[in-house]
Structure 1
Amino acid sequence: MTDLLSQKREMRRAMRAARLQHWQALPQTHRALIFGRPPRAILPLIESAEIVGLYHAVPGEVPTQRYAMHMLDLGKMIALPATREHAGPMTFRLWTGSDETLERGPWGLQPHAAMPEVVPDALFMPLVAFDSALNRLGQGGGHYDGWCSAHPAVRRIGLAWTVQQADTVPADSHDMPLDAVITEQQVLLPINERMAP
């Protein structure tokens, strides 16, 4: 195992634990209220998007239900990731916002296979860790990395808890940084787009 793979594996272990511990410490009512709508600083990344990609959060991840409802209220379409098998490629399918159009997939709930496959114009992504350079550490399956490499023009926005920020995320040359990261406390943009205090 290379040193970089070892660093990523160790960081995933530590950050998953920190993420889950932070999430479990939040009162359930507080969890539901935190991520209500995208912050104003993010609007330029999503305002022209007709289809917005989200994800169905698992315990520990930033919840996305209120983002989904907000996007639907704005007249945008919502898409969620879908895979047919654990190691298979990831696609996105439209989601109506109703649990009735979800089914159990290899990684949890995803849109029914009958829902149309689409390419989101902007994508809110889960992550395990991030750094100030907007490098993202995912779960390790490479699903998002593969999809984003095939669709490099899609805006990539990470959703995370502040405790998931690392000093430096180990990154390969092919790893694509995010366009922004939203936490419960701040919005991180590329350094050349950050506003002076």
Structure 2
Amino acid sequence: MNNEEELNQRKDKLRKEILDHRSEIDPASKADYDSWVCNQLYDLVQEWDYQVIHTYIPMGDEIDVLPLIDKLINDGRIIIAPKTLRDRQMEHLVLQSTKKLEKGVYGTSYPANSIEYIGQIDLIITPGLAYDYKGNRLGYGGGYYDAFLTEQHSAHTVGLAYPSQRIKYIPIGNHDIPVNEVISKRDL
């Protein structure tokens, strides 16, 4: 087994553990925590006056950012969300309403009837399964966001995490791109 295969096995094992922990969060605690994270993120957007924000559309038991997205749209911010394609490609679409989403590949959702955004992005909210204290991110294994973040040098990047998603060390490879900061707290 080579180093790359060993790294992928370690990451896959960690992904399973994190997904198991995340699925065990009770709905009331999840809703309260998600609201807290969204409030922290809204404060960050306000403080730095970010105008163009790229965000994931939550799937499964990811932190629900939809209420925050609605608030930011109402504030007049430009919200961009990805349409995941095959082969580590994404289209970046303007999101005008969280009520108008279509289902995409791998269980993702994306803005329906939208135009592609080509321009500078101020803030990127990344999905992730785990983050270490250096900002290293464990994604879902497709490499989509690592490829995207490589192209986005000027954007501030932030990950959102439940306490069980903050770990001391994430095994990383040459292609893994860290985030600038993670919004999380010690307890639910």
Output the TM-score relative to the length of structure 1: 0.80
**Per-residue CA shift, 1:149-188, capped at 9, x if unaligned?**
12222211001111111120011133221111012559xx
The answer to whether the 8 Å contact 1:126/1:159 transfers is: yes
What is the one-letter code of the residue matched to 1:33? S
Deviation at 1:69, TM superposition (A): 2.2
The answer to whether the 8 Å contact 1:83/1:90 transfers is: yes
Distance 1:40 1:170, change over 3 A: same
What is the one-letter code of the residue matched to 1:37? N
Match of 1:106 in 2: 105
What is the one-letter code of the residue matched to 1:104? K
Output the TM-score relative to the length of structure 2: 0.84
Q: Provide the rounded CA distance (Å) in 1 between the counterparts of 2:138 and 2:114.
A: 31
Match of 1:70 in 2: 71
Match of 1:171 in 2: 172
Distance 1:47 1:71, change over 3 A: farther
Distance 1:39 1:145, change over 3 A: closer
CA RMSD of aligned residues (A): 2.5
Match of 1:181 in 2: 182
Distance 1:32 1:149, change over 3 A: closer
The answer to whether the 8 Å contact 2:88/2:142 transfers is: no
Deviation at 1:98, TM superposition (A): 3.8
Is it true that 1:11 corresponds to 2:14 in the alignment?
A: yes
Is it true that 1:157 corresponds to 2:158 in the alignment?
A: yes
Instruction: Figure out how many residues of one structure are paired with residues of the other and give that number.
Output: 181
Distance 1:73 1:40, change over 3 A: closer
Match of 2:129 in 1: 128
Match of 2:84 in 1: 83
Q: 2:24 aligns with which of 13, 21, 26?
A: 21
User: Where in structure 1 are there 5+ consecutive unaligned residues?
Assistant: 187-197
